Every structure is written in C-alpha cells, then in structure tokens.
Structure 1
Amino acid sequence: MTTSNPATLVVVVPDEVPAAVLASATTLSRYLGISGTFVPQFWTKASPWQRHHLVDPRRCGKQKVAAGGQLRYLDLAGMRHAVAMSASIRHHQWLEVTKGTKHATPWHVWLGKHTADPAKNPLKRVKAEYQAQPRVLAMAAHNAGFGPVFATADLEAFQAGSHAYATYCALRAVCGEALITADGTRLAADGPEMAKHIAYLGEAHAHLESLDRRQRIVAITT
C-alpha cells in the first residue's frame, strides 16, 4: 500500500543561480519556486577544503553526506553500488520470509478496482483482500516482529527478482521520486506501476550522467 513518506525531489540547479541561494531551502524556494527541505542523502568525496562546494554537508556515521553540490564532489557511483549490495541482501532475506507463498497482486491494482467501481469494490474490502494475500501477510508479519524491513509498497519490485530490485533501489536512492532539469522540465513516473517508475529512473539517471561534472544538484523533500 502507499505510504505517507515524503517524496524526494532532485533539482538540477541552473548555472545562473547564485551560490548564496543554496544556503537554505527557503532561499531556494524563493528563487526557483520549489518548496521543500534539504535532505542530506548524497554520498560525498569532497576534501575538507572543498566543503564549500557542497549543500548542507554533514556526517552520517562514518559516511560523509550532503544535500547536494557539484557532481564532481558527490560519490553517486559509490552510493549506487552500496545501495545495490544492501538491496541484494535484503532481497535474499525477503525470499526466505516469503518462501512458499504465491505471487501477490500489488496494491495499485486493487486500488484501481476501487477507483473504477467504488460501489462494487469498496475501499475497505479491497484493502482487506490485498492484505490477506499470503505473500503480503508474510511481509507484514515479519515487519511486525522485526521492524519495517520489507516495504509492502515495493512488492512489485521484490517480485521482479534480485537484480531488478537492487537496480531499482540503487537508482531510486540517487534519482528520488522526481527530477527537475536545469530548464525546469519535471521528470517523474506517470503512474504507480513499477514499469513506469523504472522508465522514470532510467531517464533521470541518464540525464544526471549526461551533465557536466561541475553542474550542481540538490535533493529536497516535498
């Protein structure tokens, strides 16, 4: 099912935006009209004397992170690799937890049934039918006892296989739920299906890879 977690928006900062604008999310909002809060999610490889090129730099355990900065000072490749490795381990654990259960229908399909015919498919009933699926029950039971390890919102990605799930997680960590290019174009999935999210992530990742390494990006939650 969908969650109330805030969405992460990656903004490619136009060259003409002064560095002072990135001092806070408030000034960024006034300048670009994009409201949100900086989220320090990008790994960095900047040395101490290069910190002024980063946005909201800080340390998370042993890892240096920032909400953004010039691409040449961000370690997006290392970040993707680490997230993919972690996701692969999580997928292996998921296979053990859901062993013996059948393929489950993701929440967006059930919600679509309700939206198409609320009288025939009331929301309370479709929620119950979705949650009653053995695979969803197995995930929910594990989460109840050991913490929210397996997001049911990622059911479709889990069922796509280990490599697909790892790639999906790695790209999502870098690209967020939407990306705004330097010319103001907004890239985002145009539906809840995993195929549409993958299409967005592929387009967003390709765009980030095409940018000059001096280009600035910043991540905000909306």
Structure 2
Amino acid sequence: MPKPTPLTDQIVTVCFEPGQDADWFAASEKVNDIMAANGIPARRFRVRHRRLIGWLSRFFGYYLLDAARRFGAVTFAAGGRKSRLDLPGMSLIAANAAITRWRAWQAHISAATPAARVWEDFLAQHHADPDKLSLAEARRRFEQQPRVLAMLAHADGHLFDPYELALYQAGEATYAGWHWRVALIGDALITTDGRLLQPASDSVADRFRFLNDACAYVRHLHAHARLCALALA
C-alpha cells in the first residue's frame, strides 16, 4: 500500500460549474472552507491543442489557469476549462510510464526475490497494539524483507517505491490503473456543489474506490466546467 500522503503533500482538484468564478483564489477559498487548509496552484494539467486550430491555440492561454509555456507555446496549467485540458493524454502518459516501471520491477525485482508482506500488514499490527509494535519497528520489519531491500537498493534508471508494493504485486494492469487515475485526480476532489471526495482510509481498496468515483465525476462534467489543481501548503 502506498504510504499515507501527508496533508501538506496532497493535491486537491477543485471543480466549478460553467460560468462560476474559477480562479485559484476561489479554489483556495473552497479548500480552506471545506478542508481547513491552504493551497497554491499546481501546474499538473496538460493543455489540449485542437488539430484544426492547434497551431494557433497553442500560443494562447484563454480559459486556462496559471499556464506555463515552453518556446512560447502553452504546455501545462494549474487548471482551466475541461475542454482545454488534455485529460486523455495525461492518463495515457501516466499509464505508459507506470507500465514501463512495472515491467522493470518485474524483471529486476520480482523475478529475483520472494513475495513480501506489504506495508499495510505491518501498519495494521501497529494500530492494533502500538505498545507491542511501534511505528518505527513496523517500518523496520517491513523494510528488512529481501524484496523491499531490493527495491530500495535498485539504481538502474527506475525508482521503485516500496510502499507501492501492494500495487506492484497486484499486477501490471492494477499498477498502471492506479497511476493514471492519480495523475488525473490527485488525493482529493471538491465537487461543484462543495462535496469533498476523498478515500475513507489509506487502504489501496478505499483509495481505488475514491479514484473511481472521482474519475467518473470528472468524466460527466460539462465540457465548459472548470478544474483547478491545488497543492496544499
């Protein structure tokens, strides 16, 4: 299971109806009201360029929030109109990167080491009896397993997060599916009507349920709805 994300490292996607004020101040106000946290824009959305007018649209930041440019062309933004964000491209790139990483893990780690117990097992033991098993000891026992040590020691072009072990061991499709969903959504989502969608717990299953619900919600938003990604600070 991925290790719990500290609040200050979380990415929150804020949604707005078409026509609503959707700058990052409005998004920050929603995050502050609902999550009691402060956020700054996170340029994590790829910008979509239409084929017929892409040569022109790529140089204009209309309907985008905090856009970044490369050689004059708009490439990434912290948000904007849904129709201007390349959500399919983001998911495809994240999935392909995850597949490449998983296959490297399969070749270099899985093929050479026995299956290991995942971090979730040790964390559950700690929560069940903190006096018997401290968090530090739970981490030590998890990380001393041969497969986890191999992931930590690997230094050949890929970094393997041992706290993603449950995802790695669940297979290529699961690992890729996790990462393309996270690329689109982040760690939490605030709907247009102010509801907070987030995982019920830090378990992989609960996080997948949240990501599935959030992706379905974004998929059904109007093309003129606005999205804004904030990094909690």
With the shorter chain as reference, the TM-score category is: 0.7 to 0.9
Deviates more, 1:54-63 or 1:37-46: 54-63
What percentage of aligned pairs have identical amino acids?
31
Aligned-partner residue type, residue 46 of structure 2: W
Count of matched residue pairs: 216
Map 1:22-171; keep pairs closer than 5 Å.
22=23, 25-26=24-25, 28-30=27-29, 33=32, 35-46=38-49, 47-48=57-58, 50-59=60-69, 64-98=75-109, 99-142=111-154, 145-146=155-156, 149-171=159-181
Structure with a larger share of its residues in helix: 1
TM-score (norm 1): 0.87
C-alpha RMSD of the superposition = 2.3
Contact 1:43 1:63 (C-alpha < 8 Å) held by counterparts:
no
Work out the CA distance in 1 between the residues paired with 2:141 and 2:31.
Answer: 44
Which blocks of at least 5 consecutive residues in structure 2 are unaligned? 50-56
Work out the CA distance in 2 between the residues paired with 1:176 and 1:106.
Answer: 23
Moved over 4 A (4+): 1-5, 60-63
Provide, for residues 77-102 of structure 1, a one-character-per-residue CA deviation record: whole Å limited to 9, x for no partner.
Answer: 01111111111111011112212322
Give the Å deviation of 1:50: 4.7
Which blocks of at least 5 consecutive residues in structure 1 are unaligned? none
Provide, for residues 25-83 of structure 1, a one-character-per-residue CA deviation record: whole Å limited to 9, x for no partner.
Answer: 44542466362011010111141465120011113698811111010000100111111
| Residue 208 in structure 1 maps to residue 218 in structure 2 | yes
TM-score (norm 2): 0.84
Deviates more, 1:50-59 or 1:26-35: 26-35
Contact 1:3 1:153 (C-alpha < 8 Å) held by counterparts:
no
Work out the CA distance in 1 between the residues paired with 2:130 and 2:114.
Answer: 27
Contact 1:106 1:155 (C-alpha < 8 Å) held by counterparts:
yes
Seen in structure 2, the aligned counterparts of structure 1 residues 66 and 18 have a Cα distance that, compared at 3 Å, is same
Contact 2:44 2:76 (C-alpha < 8 Å) held by counterparts:
yes
